Amino acid sequence: MRRVLSVLAVVVVFVGCSGAKNAESYHNELMSVLNGNEGSMSEMNTAMGSRDWAAAENVRKKWLGAVEQQVASVEKMGAFDGDAAFQKTVLDALGGLKKVLVEAYPKLIEIRSKGLDDQASESKALGDINNALEGLATKVNQASATFAAKHSK
């Protein structure tokens, strides 16, 4: 999972016209919001690794609150020069992360906290989390590249 968030940390270098600096700042601000989730991911991994299910649930709730604040922050930024595509992708990614925090993580925490010997369910829950995060990262990276190409001319 950490690898997925590292993929989100891609920084695109903008070159060219005088508006590029504004595009770079906008891009970096959106990416910074997404990268703010790395700390929560690390806290979750620590709690899960230490088998502290109460801590994992507390991290999940705290992380969910942070994602809701991130959504508000990105919405407040608005579109860049009339182009809302990158902002929409970031909002979609945050929405996808919220879904993971509301649906997938509670299932994984429940399976592990009850000590169930259900490897299939645990693997599915973990796979759902990883696949969702990887898919979101791919979409953000594609939108990032498109934004950079469009606004560095």
pLDDT, tens only, 34-45: 999 999 999 999
**What is the span of the domain harbouring residue 30?**
20-151
- More reliable by pLDDT, 31 or 13: 31
- pLDDT of 21 strictly over 80: no
Amino acid making up residue 107: K
Considering the domain boundaries, does residue 113 fall inside one?
A: yes
Give the chain's end-to-end CA distance (angstroms, integer). Answer: 34
- Which pLDDT belongs to residue 106? 96
Considering the domain boundaries, does residue 110 fall inside one?
A: yes
Considering the domain boundaries, does residue 73 fall inside one?
A: yes
CA distances from 79 to 27, 139, 141 (A): 11, 18, 18
Considering the domain boundaries, does residue 100 fall inside one?
A: yes
Q: How large is the average pLDDT for residues 85-93?
A: 98
- pLDDT of 56 strictly over 70: yes
Considering the domain boundaries, does residue 13 fall inside one?
A: no
Contacts of 21 by beta carbon, 8 Å cutoff, 6+ apart:
14
Considering the domain boundaries, does residue 88 fall inside one?
A: yes
Q: How large is the average pLDDT for residues 54-75?
A: 98
The two tokens of residue 100 are 């993971």
- Which pLDDT belongs to residue 117? 77
Considering the domain boundaries, does residue 68 fall inside one?
A: yes
**In percent, how much of the chain has pLDDT > 70?**
86
The single residue listed with the structure tokens 């005088």 is 18
Considering the domain boundaries, does residue 84 fall inside one?
A: yes
- pLDDT of 7 strictly over 60: no
Q: Domains in the chain: how many in total?
A: 1
- pLDDT of 15 strictly over 90: no
Amino acid making up residue 83: D
- Which pLDDT belongs to residue 118? 82
